[in-house]
Amino acid sequence: MPFSVTILGSSGALPAYGRFPSAQYVNIQNRHFLIDCGEGTQMQLMRYQIPYQKISHIFISHLHGDHYLGLMGLLFTMHLLHRENDLHLYAPKGLDEIITLQLKHSNSTLRFNIVFHDADTLNQKLIFEDDALTIETIPLIHKIKCCGFLFREKQKPHRIDKGKLPSEILLQHIVILKSGKDIHDDKGNLLYKNENYTILPHHSYSYAYCSDTAYTEQITEQIRGVDLLYHEATFMEQEKDKATETKHSTARQAAAQAKKAGVEKLIIGHFSARYKELQPLLEEAQSIFPKTMLVIEGETIDLDV
């Protein structure tokens, strides 16, 4: 089952050198999510042939324009294409007022319902859960209320070793084996020991999205060991004072966070418009954490491959 992240926007506050503001599409076991929605996001969704009408949950990290100004255009496009399914929006408090005001003054009513959820920017909080995964907020440090999002797959079912299954086993017993349990009869006698008939589950993946933030070790334990970490890297280390002033991070700091948290892979983005060439940022990060990649628009990082 897929677990993938497609980059739609990699730029910082300003679009620059063909780079769009922040936006990412996440597909986990055919559940479709959008993280941030900077200007031009719907154009990127169309360009890369992403089924945006299937997106049911949109997560906005904070209310600086480069992270949500593409949202109204996307909502109106969904409306014009006769969307009917509910759309859930997760963001720091205030997004509901912004959208409601624009609908009011354009005398518009959407064909579908928007369900607003306040995202907790001060605490780690579970904001989504179904049978396959959980999503929780990651408190970040920025000029306004801001949070990242942590996506974690739940443990997957055990895999049945079909070559070892007895022919007389019942279907309900197979279901129990997939859950990782042994099977007993009504008297408590062991009928089938799980480890004799199953293979361990496939790996459950995790993805941490850390949007605009000053470097902070407060998030280290929460993101420890994730398979993929996105961490903003607006500046290079020589602009560290600027990063501190604006509550952003350098490429070196992003890499230091990845190393300290023991993550598997790091991707960096939210690049300042002062950088036309991004290779120096990559090299700065890789000097600390070699398994670093730049986010490149249109590229998809597949974890379940």
pLDDT for residue 227: 98
Active site residue 36: no
For residue 177, pLDDT over 70 is answered with no
pLDDT digits (tens, 9 = 90+) for 30-87: 999 999 999 999 999 999 999 999 999 999 999 999 999 999 999 999 999 999 999 9
pLDDT for residue 88: 98
Of 66, 120, 212, 227, catalytic: 66
Look at 124 and 198; give whichever has higher pLDDT: 124
pLDDT for residue 193: 79
pLDDT digits (tens, 9 = 90+) for 6-26: 999 999 999 999 999 999 999
pLDDT for residue 175: 75
Share of the chain above pLDDT 90, in %: 83
For residue 161, pLDDT over 70 is answered with no
For residue 198, pLDDT over 80 is answered with no
pLDDT digits (tens, 9 = 90+) for 99-108: 999 999 999 9
Nearest residue to 121 via CA among 106, 143, 97: 143
Flag the least confident range among 15-29, 178-192, 198-212: 178-192
Domain boundaries, the chain: 3-156+202-295, 159-199
pLDDT for residue 305: 63
Res. 174 pLDDT band, cuts 50 70 90: low
| Tokens 């398979």 -> residue | 227
Q: Which two tokens stand for residue 62?
A: 């904070």
pLDDT for residue 116: 97
Nearest residue to 152 via CA among 134, 172, 131: 134
Residue 190 CA to residue 196 CA, distance in Å, equals 12
pLDDT digits (tens, 9 = 90+) for 248-293: 999 999 999 999 999 999 999 999 999 999 999 999 999 999 999 9
pLDDT for residue 258: 98
pLDDT for residue 202: 85
The fold adopted by the segment(s) 3-156+202-295 is: Metallo-beta-lactamase; Chain A (3.60.15)
Cβ density class 171-207: b for 16+ within 10 Å, e for less: eebbebbbeeeebeeeeeeeebeeeebbeeeeeebbb
pLDDT for residue 271: 98
Strands 126-129 and 23-28: unpaired
Q: What DSSP string describes 25-63?
A: EEEETTEEEEEEE-TTHHHHHHHTT--GGG--EEE----
Cβ density class 240-268: b for 16+ within 10 Å, e for less: beebeebbbbbbbbbbbbbeebebebbbb
Res. 197 pLDDT band, cuts 50 70 90: low
pLDDT for residue 69: 98
Look at 188 and 111; give whichever has higher pLDDT: 111
Res. 167 pLDDT band, cuts 50 70 90: low
CA contacts within 13 A on the Cβ side of 86: 6
